[in-house]
Homo-oligomer: A and B are copies of this chain.
Amino acid sequence: MKLLEEKILSDGIVLPGGVLKVDNFLNHQIDPVIVTEMGKEFYRLFGDKKVDKIVTVESSGIAIAFAAAQYFGVPVVFAKKGFHKNVGTDVYFAQYFSFTKGDSTEISISKRLLSEGEHILIIDDFLANGAAADALIQILQAAGAVLTGIGIAIEKGFQPGGASLRQRGVPVRSLAIIDTMTDASITFRDDVQ
């Protein structure tokens, strides 16, 4: 998605440790124009598939997933991090190690909000090692839901998450795949879709 690649080049900040900061349009400040376009693009990529619900992880996945949900006309469910009093105990749990945060993250989705046989599109802002995606897939499996595919805003192509998911036959589509990234330059994989 050219618009997103251009925005990453103009506004993204590369930090040591392979961290890409896009917090002025995606995950702290949210640009409604580009994020709405991203939602539309996810619909172009997955709109011919069966999607009953979109699942993401709080917080930075929510706006993108919601923008997509407006086109799909289906609800978004976001997995909550940590323990929440309001969620109650009747939840599906999974755990993953977040390299960005440097520690383990526990996510949960209320059992009432995922049903057996529902077709789920996962949408998230980043795909790097695939730890968060794997945790979401675990939750879908526990619920007996069917994974339609995974839509990612920014994939770090130099980390193994995307390749691993695709090898396992999961349809992964990313709006921008970064092949190399230094503080001086960012290169994208050509012809993503």
List residues of chain A with CB under 8 Å of any chain B CB: 15, 19, 21, 23-25, 28-33, 35-36, 58-59, 62-63, 66-67, 69-70, 73-78, 80, 84-87, 100-102, 109-110, 112-113
Q: How far is the CA of A70 from the CA of B30 in the complex (A)?
A: 11
Q: How far is the CA of A33 from the CA of B72 in the complex (A)?
A: 11
Neighbour of A80 across the interface among B25, B28, B67, B73, CB < 8 A: B28
Q: How far is the CA of A15 from the CA of B84 in the complex (A)?
A: 14
Q: How far is the CA of A24 from the CA of B24 in the complex (A)?
A: 30
The 10 A-B pairs of least Cβ separation, nearest first, read: A58-B59, A32-B69, A30-B76, A59-B59, A62-B62, A63-B66, A29-B77, A32-B70, A29-B113, A29-B75
Question: Can you list 23 A-B pairs, Cβ within 8 angstroms, ordered by A?
Answer: A23-B86, A23-B87, A25-B75, A28-B113, A29-B113, A30-B62, A30-B69, A30-B75, A30-B76, A30-B77, A30-B78, A31-B75, A32-B70, A32-B73, A32-B76, A35-B66, A36-B70, A58-B58, A58-B59, A62-B63, A63-B63, A84-B101, A86-B100
Return chain B residues, CB-CB under 8 Å to A59. 58-59, 62, 78, 80
CB of A146 to closest CB in B, whole Å: 18
Q: How far is the CA of A24 from the CA of B88 in the complex (A)?
A: 14
CB of A119 to closest CB in B, whole Å: 16
